[in-house]
A and B are shown apart, each in its own frame.
Chain A
Amino acid sequence: EPEVTQTPSHQVTQMGQEVILRCVPISNHLYFYWYRQILGQKVEFLVSFYNNEISEKSEIFDDQFSVERPDGSNFTLKIRSTKLEDSAMYFCASSEEGEKNIQYFGAGTRLSVL
């Protein structure tokens, strides 16, 4: 069964460093998303991406964040200068066009900022 894959599964970084989280969405999907989940809290929307541009972003998604689809398969989230409070699980999701709009989630990348 097709699935969303994310790498790495765990990323440890020093505060102030740049990180890139990688995702390979399901191949025929057209909509891509990033969410984050701080430990023990709810899943929060960061950004959605369609047709090679951001379609919506949340207040969390400030200038330190960017997304890119560098080729036909990868979808990346970059954090330019990480802060302690960026420590969270980051989930990538994708969905196809259609009535149901089910978002399929990857297994996540746990980001630990020290």
Chain B
Amino acid sequence: ELKVEQNPLFLSMQEGKNYTIYCNYSTTSDRLYWYRQDPGKSLESLFVLLSNGAVKQEGRLMASLDTKARLSTLHITAAVHDLSATYFCAVDGYNFNKFYFGSGTKLNVKP
């Protein structure tokens, strides 16, 4: 079964700092998704990465995909408190009928 691993699982950082969340997956896939979840809320789509070398940026978040290394990164630049949430990466199943989610990275940005 396809496995998706994220690290770190918990991240506490100061406002203004930069950090990167890593997402590794176990088998070939050209599509990777990043979601944000606030406590008690649903998953909000952040990025869709559709090919090797894809890079997407939105505000202080930038996501990239290296399909050869089976690795995606979510980079946070100059963090602000509003970014505090849990971030999940997800990979398509073999026949695109389901997502495999990572365990999530709980980000706490301290003022």
Contacts and interface: CB of A to CB of B under 8 A. Distances in A.
Contacts of A107: 41-42
Interface stretch (A14-22, A39-47, A67-75, A76-84): A39-47
Interface residues of B, number: 24
A48 B97 CA distance: 6
A91 B44 CA distance: 12
A43 B42 CA distance: 11
Nearest to B95: A56
B104 A42 contact: yes
Contacts of B97: 31, 48, 50, 55-56
A36 to B, nearest CB: 11
Interface of B: 31, 33, 35, 41-45, 48, 50, 88, 90, 92-93, 95-104
Contacts of B104: 42-43
A7 to B, nearest CB: 14
A42 B100 CA distance: 10
Contacts of A43: 43, 88, 90, 99, 101, 104
A106 B43 CA distance: 8
A48 B31 contact: no
Contacts of A99: 50
A101 B92 contact: yes
A56 B48 CA distance: 22
A56 B101 contact: no
A33 B43 CA distance: 14
A55 B94 CA distance: 12
